[in-house]
Amino acid sequence: MSPFSDSPGSLAVDNVRTLAPYVPGKPIEELERELGIRNIIKLASNENPFGPSPAAIEAMRRAVSDTWLYPDGSGHVLRHKLAAKLGVAPNQITLGNGSNDALVLLAEAFLKPGLEAVYSQYAFAVYPIAIQATGATGVAVPALGSEANMHLGHDLAAIARAVNERTRVVFIANPNNPTGTWVTADELQAFVAALPSHVIVALDEAYFEYTVGLPLQNGIDWLEKYPNLVVFRTFSKAYGLAGVRVGYAVSHPTVADMLNRVRQAFNVSVVGLAGAAAALDDTPHVSAAVNVAIAERARLTARLQAGGARVIPSAGNFLLVHVGPKARQKYEDLLRQGVIVRPVANYQLPEHLRVTLGTVEQNDRFLDAWIAC
């Protein structure tokens, strides 16, 4: 009898068996089951509280009747609409089941045992997961300390020093999740320009739309100058389509060709393709939602700071708040008030909570609950 008969999972390769899985935000339904609470607001997963464009909803409703068919494996309509909007060629775009999927495709295409990938200490949890799954070595670089203006942010100089001949990918999220921190466009471009050509730069711009008025980059504009740059964006945040999972990567055509070789043929659903394509046409809907988030970002920061909390500067649709040793208790107290925020101990930030920016009414309720707790 096989020594593994009682635990067939142990047959998995070492780098997968030792993976710590991604921990999502608590769903509304789970809190309802646990505490019997109704009228819950979820401010845990950086979703757009205004949802998708009405045009996108209508397009998805129509697409439901085609769900007995496989989706267009090339995503022709969406890729061409994106290319026109972004000013790139369709063959530079790789569609993903959310931008997470596209990030994993990059790891699968360019990493293997013996190679390294570098990322910041408090970077998006998917990066180390994707790296480890390939058998490559992840190198986490300490973030900026409390003496820096952008505490917990990327230390680009330290990241550059961590790059060596084994480095194949550097992951940079700007703005970063879960911290909300950012580096300026000038700083980031100088960093990208100085990297050796054997290093792929994975620039995660999931929160790009929320950077209006701040000195951050539009990475798409840099693609022609830096062929080793890959830009990742998503429809999950500003476009309000988190539930149908659509994201994409924009890169040099030869990089896109490699990503599409490992991409599953039908990785974006019929409904997702239809919704994303329609959402691109409704700029006013996206702009209105973004404008509320930016205004509320400033208002909540001021209110929380006035109450003595330390709020990390954010360029996203969320705030990272330092609570202290009782952060977990604060989180649980908020749950009992019907408000779900995000504990980030899994990011080695056990004294912080991340709060998604909701509607004005939701944010007021959060503030009332925060004070009451």
The whole-angstrom separation of Cα 181 and Cα 279 is 27
Token pair 């019997």: residue: 36
The helix, strand and coil proportions of the chain, stated in percent and rounded to the nearest 5, come to 45, 15, 40
Degrees, nearest 5: CA angle 70-74-77 = 95
Tens of pLDDT, residue by residue over 89-116, are 999 999 999 999 999 999 999 999 999 9
Mean pLDDT of 146-154: 94
Query: The tokens of 20 are what?
Result: 């710590």
Amino acid at 38: R
The whole-angstrom separation of Cα 35 and Cα 336 is 7
- pLDDT of 2 strictly over 70: no
Class of domain 67-279 as given by CATH: alpha beta
Tens of pLDDT, residue by residue over 289-319, are 999 999 999 999 999 999 999 999 999 999 9
Query: The tokens of 245 are what?
Result: 């999972």
**DSSP characters over 230-283:** EEEEESSSTT--GGG--EEEE--HHHHHHHHHHS-TT-S-HHHHHHHHHHTT-H
The whole-angstrom separation of Cα 18 and Cα 286 is 40
pLDDT at 17: 79
Confidence of residue 1 (pLDDT cuts 50, 70, 90): very low
Mean of the per-residue pLDDT values of the chain: 95
DSSP secondary structure letter of residue 98: S
The whole-angstrom separation of Cα 310 and Cα 326 is 14
Return the CA Rg of the chain.
21
* Sequence spans of domains, the chain: 8-51+284-372, 67-279
Fold classification of 8-51+284-372 (topology level): Aspartate Aminotransferase, domain 1 (3.90.1150)
pLDDT at 4: 53
357, 318 Cβ separation under 8 angstroms: yes
From 7-21, 160-174, 194-208, 347-361, the region with the lowest mean pLDDT = 7-21
